[in-house]
Amino acid sequence: MSYVEERIMELSNAENRRSQIYKLFNVLQQYNVTALKIDGRRIKVAENHWVNDFASCNYLGLDLDPEMQMDVKEQIIKWGVHPSWCRLVASPYIYQEAEERLADLIGVESTLIFPTVTLISIGVLPALVGKSGVLFLDKSGHETMYEAAKIARDNGAKLESFKQDDFKSLEALLIKHNDNNRKVILVDGVYSMSGDFVSLKNLIKLAKKYEALVYIDDAHGFGIVGQEPTADVPLGFKGNGIVKYHGLDYENIIYVGGCSKAYSSLAAFVGCSYKMRSFLQGFATPYDLSGPCPTASLATLLKGLEINEKRGGSYRSQLWELTQMALNGLRNLGFTVLNNTGFPIVYVVIGDNADLITTANILFRQGILVTVSPYPMVSIGQEGHRITLTAANTKSEVQQLLAAFAEVRNYLCEVGRFGIEMKSEISSVDIY
Ligand SMILES: Cc1ncc(COP(=O)(O)O)c(C=O)c1O
């Protein structure tokens, strides 16, 4: 038996998270799909089979914007395809340009770009808490933060976790570690499965009381939620992130924005003070050990920021309309849909892994691609299909989505499992 065969054997009997997901590779048509061609948000996945894409997080549709596409070539001619220095040594000027524009947009002193949010968490979290600090993790926070927290734990830091919005438990934990002056609370700005927003005002108040920092992973929110929300524009203006949405400043916040979703660019950034920026340049490991963003990504980010100023508002209002159409349609069909914000993440609860697989395959046959979310990616009883909408989707595609979910409903009614109560909640995230 080869090394890899042995490992597969060993892990196929394990009950850990990865093994459970790996087992689905053979039964789910919606995993590891190869796009043979794209036409807007339609993807050719096999001869005579196209699917409508509701799994992309290119929320503003910038990936398909001709202005974005044209600009890449010009920057590549100027800078080469890849600045292959680590950032410690050198960065092309477009890095600085993008960092300054990002800082202006979100209203923070400075920003520091890395290729991904994952790399930021891996570098920044261990640097912030060192050997003796404590990380307080939101159980609904993104798994990449947990992975980064485990690196910090290997260095000696302590980990605690609390349920989303359970500030009473969080306060008890902060009291428990009151004597420790390295405390960092980790949350998502917009939760990646439910589209919920972090209750930032309460959280910041608590963090200030116990002198903790708040690290916000706003991979989804940046580009979509923004300042001064109104009844007519509930997600706010400019897409400048969850901190501005709540009308707060960055005093005790480390803000992390992702550009690979709304801005269709492989880049992410930390928003912080000049002093913190300089500290991270010295101590956040990927800054010196890992490679930089490709030129094309920096070019699309810069162009995206320009397009956001010109047309971002109209893309976001298109997106809002399509999301409302999907939300109302799915709720009218009788599905349980997690979304209380109108954010373009629309999560339909199916509530059982076996039904999830069958319904995922129904959707795929009906020409719909979604992000299938089984246990242990989510809690038991919360297994479901995550639909993400983008400004490049069309109303007719949303109609096809609803028609496909009507088929899912028919199937679940037939087997007598439509609309049954959700089972008990068991958290999918357990770091201990
Ligand atoms: C909330 C959240 N954080 C982090 C990530 C990882 O981002 P990146 O691909 O930039 O590492 C994701 C990816 O989907 C995410 O949803």
49-53, strands of its sheet edge to edge: 37-39, 42-46, 49-53, 368-369
Pocket lining: 219 vs ligand 1, CB cutoff 6 Å: yes
Query: pLDDT tens digits for 358-398?
Result: 999 999 999 999 999 998 788 889 999 999 999 999 999 99
317 and 289 both lie in a single domain: no
210 and 237 both lie in a single domain: yes
pLDDT of residue 426: 43
Pocket lining: 120 vs ligand 1, CB cutoff 6 Å: no
Kindly state the percentage of the chain with pLDDT values over 70. Answer: 97
Pocket lining: 258 vs ligand 1, CB cutoff 6 Å: yes
pLDDT of residue 378: 86
135 and 41 both lie in a single domain: no
Whole-structure pTM value: 0.95
198 DSSP 8-state letter: P
Phi, psi of 197 (to 5 degrees): -105, 145
Domain assignment present for residue 77? The answer is no
Q: How many domains does the chain have?
A: 2
CA distance 246 to 341: 13
Nearest to 35 by CA among 427, 369, 407, 428: 369
CA of 65 to the centre of ligand 1 (A): 23
CA distance 322 to 395: 7
332 and 396 both lie in a single domain: yes
Domain assignment present for residue 44? The answer is yes
151 and 252 both lie in a single domain: yes
CA distance 231 to 74: 41
Q: Does residue 206 contact residue 191 with C-beta atoms inside 8 Å?
A: no
Instruction: Tell me the pLDDT band of 422, cut-offs 50, 70 and 90.
Output: low
Q: For 153-191, b where at least 16 C-beta lie within 10 A, e where not — what string?
A: beeebbbbbbeebeeeebeebbeebeebebbbbbbbbbb
CA of 268 to the centre of ligand 1 (A): 9
Domain assignment present for residue 70? The answer is no
Domain assignment present for residue 427? The answer is no
Residue 26 pLDDT > 90, yes or no? Answer: no
Domain assignment present for residue 100? The answer is yes
Question: Other CB atoms closer than 10 Å to residue 97's CB: what's the count?
Answer: 14
Candidate of 114, 142, 143 to mutate for ligand 1, largest count of ligand atoms within 8 Å of Cβ: 142
Which CATH number fits the domain that encloses residue 201?
Answer: 3.40.640.10
102 and 50 both lie in a single domain: no
Strands 42-46 and 37-39: antiparallel
Adjacent-strand bridge partners of 380: 426
Q: What SS3 state is found at 309?
A: helix
Measured CA distances, 374 to 106, 312, 326, 356 (Å): 35, 33, 21, 7
What sign for the dihedral angle of Cα 125, 245, 57, 51?
positive
Please compute the mean of the pLDDT values over residues 188-207 and round it to a whole number: 97
Domain assignment present for residue 263? The answer is yes
Please compute the mean of the pLDDT values over residues 65-76 and round it to a whole number: 91
CA of 264 to the centre of ligand 1 (A): 13
Pocket lining: 144 vs ligand 1, CB cutoff 6 Å: yes
CA distance 298 to 82: 10
180 and 42 both lie in a single domain: no
Looking at 231, 258, 293, the residue that finishes a domain is 293
227 and 325 both lie in a single domain: no
Q: What is the residue range of 356's domain?
A: 22-63+312-414
CA distance 271 to 103: 7
Looking at 293, 322, 349, the residue that finishes a domain is 293
What sign for the dihedral angle of Cα 304, 309, 310, 316?
positive
* Closest ligand 1 atom number to CA of residue 258: 10
pLDDT of residue 423: 53
194 and 88 both lie in a single domain: yes
H/E segment holding residue 269 = strand 268-272
Nearest to 349 by CA among 321, 319, 389, 378: 378
Domain assignment present for residue 421? The answer is no
CA of 179 to the centre of ligand 1 (A): 32
358 and 209 both lie in a single domain: no
Q: Tokens for 98, please give them.
A: 């993008």
H/E segment holding residue 204 = helix 200-209
pLDDT of residue 380: 86
Pocket lining: 116 vs ligand 1, CB cutoff 6 Å: yes
Which CATH number fits the domain that encloses residue 396?
Answer: 3.90.1150.10
140 and 204 both lie in a single domain: yes
Domain assignment present for residue 398? The answer is yes
Query: pLDDT tens digits for 296-345?
Result: 999 999 999 999 999 999 999 999 999 999 999 999 999 999 999 999 99
CA of 249 to the centre of ligand 1 (A): 23
369 and 233 both lie in a single domain: no
Measured CA distances, 271 to 71, 82, 95, 277 (Å): 26, 24, 14, 8
Residue 249 pLDDT > 60, yes or no? Answer: yes
Pocket lining: 373 vs ligand 1, CB cutoff 6 Å: no
Query: pLDDT tens digits for 107-150?
Result: 999 999 999 999 999 999 999 999 999 999 999 999 999 999 99
